[in-house]
């Protein structure tokens, strides 16, 4: 008789378990220690920066926005304190993306998932939501006990309060993000009077919902199933990278405190781990670090604090769980000293790439021109023969004044012999050298006519160089096109 076929989406064969196990609710216990304090400090810094930065002011002169960090889509500008970027300077954002990626690689090479455990927005906001949950519903034991008991009025009131605070945090998170795209005080006032743009309310609703669901309900599932970084970093790590590690050379074999005392009295070898499961109780993803490296471990270090607390109480050395690597575990087993290599080819290359990109971006920023010129030749007609036999070409010149004040510029050309230039609609025109006034922090587009005598011996296409010069500052910008003969 043939063996019954088990659906492939449930089992590989008769002996394997299900591919996907239904979520088991995690109840992280509060803990105090070095890494918990680091996480509190980074959370305060990150959230404070995110929520308050839109309200920081920066004086850029009369008529310019005074918000320190502003993404101004209507005017196509990005402001970051003294830096103002235009759409043509999108390459700076490319550089920032490269820096972010390589910085992640460097963090991973030095200390594993530092980003995931301390700086990731999912981790930061989930930590904040857990703090609210503990404040309203109690710590691990109280929450487990309450979930197993029948619902009471007190329990229901605590849950309502918890979700209400979660929604307020999520709402302000979405609201703070929108404030980066408009003047923050003005937009807050418009929100209060229900006069803000509809799109602002829509985005606040979207971000409020996603923050509430991801930080309040999905929690560790985002890290385990939704985030691609755990899969990527596993391919980028090496044997020298420090990760949160259970030092099994010290911890095994496990036994209770009393039994360990008796065995040590008899001269037996006993591990320091007393199998108290405190490392599991405090883990925000609910894993057991003693099982080795795991995809779900975000390496937040809370298990280190929990284990250190227990080791101190039982009179054993701390850091049974700590930042370590398997090489050092094997070296200790062999009786050798520990070796750490923060400086190695991988980290040096990553640091070098970061330094190079930063240097290139800084140089480009310090030497960039605040006066720019773009030229577009007329397409139809390309050239016109005038009644006196001369040839005229038309161009559209776009002038970019990136400074915060008006300036007068002169326009010159190098091209066909005896060519004359005329700017249509110029504020000030002289016979020999056209001059125009450019408004501050703006783009000005004008039509330019270049006329030159007809020369039968000349090439059909002659290069022409347009050059603009700031009369007051002496800044120069140029662009090259062609003068076409019919």
What tens digit of pLDDT does each residue of 265-289 get?
Answer: 887 888 899 999 999 999 999 999 9
Q: Kindly indicate the confidence band of residue 6, based on its pLDDT and cuts at 50, 70 and 90.
A: very low
111 within a domain of the structure (yes/no): no
- pLDDT given at position 22: 65
56, pLDDT greater than 90? yes
Tokens of 106: 């460097």
- For residue 14, being part of any structural domain is answered with no
Confidence of residue 335 (pLDDT cuts 50, 70, 90): confident
Angle at 146 between CA 169 and CA 28, to 5 degrees: 55
Q: Are 121 and 114 in contact (CB under 8 A)?
A: no
363 occurs within a structural domain: no
**Can you tell me the distance from the alpha carbon of 123 to that of 258, in angstroms, rounded to the nearest whole number?**
38
Q: In degrees rounded to 5, what are phi and psi of residue 244?
A: -65, 115
Band the pLDDT of 233: cuts 50, 70, 90: confident
201 shares a domain with 247:
no
Q: Do 201 and 228 have their domain in common?
A: yes
Q: Is 193 contained in some domain?
A: yes
Which one of 278, 308, 333 terminates a domain?
333
Q: In degrees rounded to 5, what are phi and psi of residue 29?
A: -90, 145
Query: pLDDT: is 12 or 291 the higher one?
Result: 291
DSSP-assigned letter for residue 57: B
* Average pLDDT of span 430-445: 80
Q: Of 277, 217, 213, 205, give the one whose Cα is nearest residue 246.
A: 277
Residues 98-111 have pLDDT tens digits of: 999 999 999 999 99
Token look-up 């980290």 returns 347
Task: Please indicate whether residue 5 or residue 444 has the higher confidence score (pLDDT).
Answer: 444
CA nearest to 404, candidates 370, 437, 428: 370
Same domain, 253 and 184: no
Dist CA 223 CA 117 (whole Å): 10
The answer on 226 and 244 residing in a single domain is no
Residues 55 and 197 in one domain: yes
Stated length of the chain: 486
| Claim to verify: residue 201 and residue 223 sit in the same structural domain | yes
Residue with more model confidence, 381 or 45: 45
Q: How far is Cα 43 from Cα 117, in angstroms, rounded to an integer?
A: 11
Phi-psi region of 112 (alpha: psi -120 to 50; beta: other; left: phi over 0): left
Same domain, 79 and 220: yes
Provide the token pair at 176. 């703070």
76 is a domain residue: yes
Asked if 483 contacts 393 with a C-beta cutoff of 8 angstroms, the reply is: yes
Question: Are 272 and 193 in a shared domain?
Answer: no
- The answer to whether 352 touches 98, Cβ cutoff 8 Å, is no
Which residue matches tokens 């930065």?
53
Residues 226 and 242 in one domain: no
Mean pLDDT of the chain: 88
- pLDDT > 70 in the chain, percent: 93
Q: Is residue 144 exposed (0-12), middle (13-18) or buried (19+ Cβ within 10 Å)?
A: middle
Q: Which of 284, 312, 333 is the last residue of a domain?
A: 333
Q: How large is the average pLDDT for residues 230-247?
A: 88
Q: Is residue 285 part of a domain?
A: yes
111 closest CA partner among 279, 301, 249, 378: 301
Looking up tokens 């619902």, which residue turns up? Answer: 151
Q: At what angle do helices 302-313 and 34-52 cross, to 10 degrees?
A: 150
Q: What is the CATH number of the domain that holds 424?
A: 2.60.40.10
- The mean per-residue pLDDT over the stretch 357-378 comes to 91
Contacts of 94 (CB under 8 A, 6+ apart): none
Walk across the sheet containing 77-80 and list its strands: 69-72, 77-80, 83-85
Q: Is the pLDDT of residue 303 over 80?
A: yes
Strands (E), 28-178: 69-72, 77-80, 83-85
Distance CA 128, CA 348 (A): 35
For residue 389, pLDDT over 90 is answered with no
Q: Are residues 231 and 242 in the same domain?
A: no
Phi, psi of 416 (to 5 degrees): -60, 150
Q: What share of the chain is helix, strand, coil (3-state, %, to 5)?
A: 45, 20, 40
The tokens for 309 are 């607390």
Question: Worst-scoring range by mean pLDDT, 19-33, 54-68, 389-403, 410-424?
Answer: 19-33
Contact call for residues 26 and 219 (beta carbons, < 8 A)? yes
Quick: pLDDT tens for 109-153: 999 899 999 999 999 999 999 999 999 999 999 999 988 888 889
**What is the domain range of residue 295?**
238-333
Tell me if 261 is assigned to some domain: yes
Q: What's the number of domains the chain is made of?
A: 3
Q: What are phi and psi of 284, to 5 degrees?
A: -70, -15
In whole angstroms, give the CA distance from residue 35 to residue 28: 15
The residues, ordered by sequence, that sit 6+ positions from 96 with a Cβ below 8 Å of its Cβ are none
**pTM exceeds 0.75 for this model:** yes
Give the whole-angstrom CA distance, residue 72 versus residue 183: 9
Q: Provide the 3-class DSSP secondary structure of residue 437.
A: strand
Residue from 378, 390, 373 nearest 458 by CA: 390
Last residue in a domain, options 217, 235, 253 = 235
Which structure tokens are listed for 363? 């140089």
Q: Let me know: does 297 contact 285? Beta carbons within 8 Å.
A: yes
pLDDT at 1: 42
Res 430: pLDDT: 55
Do residues 183 and 269 share a domain? no
Residue 428 has pLDDT above 60, yes or no: no
Whether residues 69 and 142 fall in one domain: yes
Question: What's the N-to-C CA distance of the chain in angstroms?
Answer: 90
Query: In whole angstroms, what is the distance from residue 319 CA to residue 344 CA?
Result: 25
Structure tokens at 13: 């064969």
Q: What is the torsion angle, in degrees rounded to the nearest 10, for the CA atoms of residue 296, residue 302, residue 304 and residue 306?
A: -120
Assigned domain for 10 exists: no
């Amino acid at each position: 008789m043939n063996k019954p076929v088990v659906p492939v989406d449930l089992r590989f064969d008769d002996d394997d378990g299900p591919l996907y196990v239904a979520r088991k609710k995690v109840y992280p216990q509060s803990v105090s220690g070095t890494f918990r304090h680091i996480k509190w400090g980074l959370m305060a810094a990150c959230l404070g920066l995110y929520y308050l930065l839109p309200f920081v002011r920066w004086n850029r002169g009369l008529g310019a926005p005074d918000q320190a960090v502003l993404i101004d889509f209507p005017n196509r500008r990005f402001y970051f304190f003294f830096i103002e970027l235009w759409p043509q300077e999108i390459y700076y954002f490319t550089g920032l993306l490269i820096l972010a990626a390589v910085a992640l690689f460097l963090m991973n090479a030095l200390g594993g998932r530092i980003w995931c455990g301390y700086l990731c927005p999912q981790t930061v906001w989930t930590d904040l939501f857990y703090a609210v949950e503990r404040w309203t519903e109690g710590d691990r034991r109280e929450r487990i006990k309450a979930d197993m008991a029948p619902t009471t009025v007190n329990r229901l009131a605590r849950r309502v309060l918890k979700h209400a605070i979660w929604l307020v945090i999520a709402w302000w998170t979405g609201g703070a993000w929108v404030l980066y795209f408009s003047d923050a005080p003005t937009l807050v006032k418009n929100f209060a009077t229900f006069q803000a743009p509809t799109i602002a309310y829509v985005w606040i609703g979207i971000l409020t919902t996603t923050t509430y669901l991801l930080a309040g309900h999905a929690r560790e599932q985002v890290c385990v199933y939704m985030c691609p970084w755990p899969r990527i970093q596993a391919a980028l790590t090496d044997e020298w990278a420090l990760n949160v590690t259970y030092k099994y050379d010290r911890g095994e074999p496990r036994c209770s405190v009393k039994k360990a005392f008796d065995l040590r009295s008899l001269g037996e070898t006993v591990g320091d781990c007393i199998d108290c499961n405190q490392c599991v109780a405090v883990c925000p993803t609910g894993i057991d670090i003693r099982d080795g490296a795991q995809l779900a471990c975000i390496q937040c270090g809370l298990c280190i604090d929990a284990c250190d607390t227990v080791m101190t109480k039982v009179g054993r050395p701390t850091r049974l769980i700590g930042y370590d690597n398997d090489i050092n575990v094997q070296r200790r087993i062999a009786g050798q000293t520990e070796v750490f290599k923060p400086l190695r080819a991988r980290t040096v290359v990553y640091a070098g790439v970061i330094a190079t990109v930063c240097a290139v971006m800084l140089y480009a920023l310090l030497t960039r021109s605040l006066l720019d010129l773009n030229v577009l030749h007329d397409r139809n007609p390309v050239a016109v023969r005038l009644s006196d036999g001369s040839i005229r070409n038309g161009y559209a010149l776009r002038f970019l004044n990136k400074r915060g004040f008006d300036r007068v510029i002169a326009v010159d050309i190098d091209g066909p012999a005896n060519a004359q230039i005329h700017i249509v609609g110029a504020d000030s025109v002289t016979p020999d050298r056209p001059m125009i006034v450019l408004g501050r922090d703006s783009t000005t587009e004008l039509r330019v006519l270049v006329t030159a005598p007809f020369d039968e011996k000349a090439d059909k296409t002659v290069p022409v160089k347009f050059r603009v010069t700031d009369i007051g500052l002496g800044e120069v910008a140029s662009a090259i096109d062609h003068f076409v003969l019919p």
